[in-house]
Chains A and B, each alone.
Chain A
Amino acid sequence: MRADKGTGLALRYVAAVAVTIVFLFPIYWLASISFKTPDEIFASPPAWWPEQIQFANYAVLFKDGDVVTIWNSLVIASVSTVCAMLLGTMCAYSIARFRTGGNLFSDWIISNRMIPPIVIVFPVFLLYVRLGWVDTYIGLIVLYTAFNLPYVIWMMRGYIQDIPLELEESALVDGCTRWQVFWKVVLPMARGGLFATAVFTFVFAWNEFIFALVLTRSEVTTFPVQVTHYFGGQSNFWAKIAAMSMLGTVPIFIAVALLQRFLVRGISLGAVKG
């Protein structure tokens, strides 16, 4: 019986390792290409690891100035995250504590998250042409703020509902204004949820492709769009594809590793409170 359990665990362990290897292999392959020399990248049969770690592929991106697309992504994702968090948390507080608009309003909010981006970006593009907002920071920041707001509201509503009411009531009795209660009592109490939601909001904006594809030309190109610029009839740019992808992906991996505790709740739109 005991031996059975031991064998069962060993088998499951082997299976777990095998599954993990399968799922991580593509990421490993991308990383390995980013460190390979051209000869190694275009070896047939493929070389499974670089002979030595060298950063020439990354250096080229810095030398040619392609990394400015990482900067563009950083500006757009950061500013839109701050905007969405501020407006969204205000709205979430109103809904969580005063049931503003009732269930219908909440349902309307989240339904905006479900509209396909292509349906949104087409009329928005026509509008932006008139406003002169195509290929500008402001254009993408406003659109990402709008697109992420439903997510922020939905998530923060849940986190605020988890906070006990007593503190807010006693703060009101002590003579705080509503706004002070929100700013000085509620926000500090919700900081865990605020942080987690902000990171996910940032990741959505950082990873987004269609809006950026349509609404950028050359001035504010984001890194996912830049990666697709390297696709060509000839596959000479593999090193650039891999290096740029790594630059855009590794920071996200680190950020997500920091909030394991909030992960399931974050990606399930709050459906699972993990």
Chain B
Amino acid sequence: MVSGGGGSAVALAPGRLADRNFKYYMIFPAVLVILLIGLFPVIYTLIISFQNLTMMDEDTSFHGLMHYRALFEDARFWESLLHTFIFVAVALPAELLLGLAMAYLFLERLPGRQIFVALLVLPVVTSPIIAGATWRLLFDNQFGPINQILGWFAGEPVPIIWLVDPNFVYPAILIAEIWQWTPFMFLLLLAALSNVDKSQTEAAELDGASFLRTFRLIVLPAIWPVMAIAVLIRALDLFRLFDVVWALTRGGPGTSTETISIYAYVAGFQQFETSYTAAMAFVVIVILAVSITLVLRRLEIDR
């Protein structure tokens, strides 16, 4: 079910010399192109982060760690990291738990299940910027339906200005984000749950084990490999969150919802601080590399 590394045996024994090099010819073009995103950005950002470039000024002299020091003292940078972690910390568990609940809802026989699943996947394949634009229309305080619906429950008009009010801007972004990606968790967890051995869970229930106990001891270990990958994919996506926030608030009001990706964009393409942005980009690469290594090591041990 879960595809590991390695794979099928090396059965096509190499023959003539041309044949022996065949496998390298086959990977060469792909590797060359991937270097554009895999190697070049890392090296190039590292180099210019030690210089003092702006979009107007080509100062390529060596400035050492100047920009890294400035970054360390830049409150806006730390705040953008904090905002990013808030989005990860709230959206990730919410998507996981909601997705799990939905997967259980659709796990057993249900007429038209295929159709439900086909419809529920639509948010996942919508462009994130379109999802953001859609929620922008939904959240409008005057012409959007959300305040209207809340008004029905409240019994009086609800005047929340979702995307400007500091108390509501985070919930608004999180709702859009969770709406779009909960179905992703749902689909993967549904597939994983469907593969859990029924006889084991039924036996546990007959023995009088509670649902939570059965889940923890039998279901969770069985779905763990898929769940771990789903969480890893979503965590990485959330860490680079840009589109939905851009569509809804552009990081505002002020800089209060600015993620690290948005701050890097603003610094690089609106304030034109080339070398400074490069330093920021490099720090992001380092944070990511370290956390991925730690997470993968952790997963390796659990296996």
Contacts and interface: CB of A to CB of B under 8 A. Distances in A.
Contact of B288 (A97, A114, A124, A179): A114
Interface in B206-239: 225-226, 229-230, 233, 236, 239
A145 B35 CA distance: 12
Interface string A137-150: 00000110111011
25 contacts: A23-B179, A27-B123, A27-B126, A29-B134, A30-B134, A87-B29, A99-B6, A100-B26, A109-B34, A114-B292, A116-B284, A118-B242, A122-B278, A142-B33, A157-B7, A214-B265, A224-B130, A241-B133, A245-B130, A248-B127, A249-B126, A249-B130, A272-B191, A272-B192, A272-B226
A42 interface: yes
B290 interface: no
B116 interface: yes
Contacts of A145: 33
B281 interface: yes
Interface residues of B, number: 101
Contacts of A67: none
Interface string A236-272: 0010011001001100110011001001100111111
A15 B105 contact: yes
Contacts of A96: 7-8
Contact of A161 (B3, B23, B105, B246): B3
Interface in B1-43: 1-3, 5-12, 15, 19, 22-24, 26-27, 29-31, 33-34, 36-38, 40-41
A238 B289 CA distance: 41
B3 A271 contact: yes
Interface of A: 9, 12-13, 15-16, 19-20, 23-24, 26-27, 29-30, 33, 41-46, 48, 87-88, 90-91, 93-101, 103, 105-109, 111-112, 114-120, 122-127, 142-143, 145-147, 149-150, 153, 157-158, 161, 165, 168-169, 172, 178-179, 182, 203, 206-210, 214, 224, 227-228, 231, 235, 238, 241-242, 245, 248-249, 252-253, 256-257, 260, 263-264, 267-274
Contacts of B229: 268-269, 271
A158 B6 CA distance: 10
B132 to A, nearest CB: 9
B27 A116 contact: no
Nearest to A168: B12
A214 B138 CA distance: 27
A77 to B, nearest CB: 11
A160 B285 CA distance: 32
B269 interface: yes
B243 interface: yes
B301 interface: no
B27 A101 contact: yes
Given A90-B29, A117-B240, A224-B130, A111 B292 contact: yes
Given A30-B137, A245-B130, A268 B233 contact: yes
A4 B233 CA distance: 40
A260 B105 contact: no
Contact of A103 (B5, B230, B269): B5
Interface stretch (B59-67, B68-76, B86-94, B181-189): B181-189
A180 to B, nearest CB: 11
Contacts of A15: 105
A23 B110 CA distance: 18
B145 interface: yes
Contacts of A214: 265, 269
B110 A90 contact: no
Given A16-B106, A118-B240, A264 B188 contact: yes
A242 B143 CA distance: 14
Most interface-central of B108, B119, B127, B128 (chain A CB within 10 A): B127
Instruction: Pick the most buried of A111, A157, A210, A252: most chain B CB atoms within 10 A of its CB.
Output: A210
Contact of B246 (A203, A206, A209): A209
Contacts of A126: 44, 48, 274
B37 A127 contact: no
B256 interface: no
A241 B137 contact: yes
B183 A274 contact: no
A81 B110 CA distance: 37
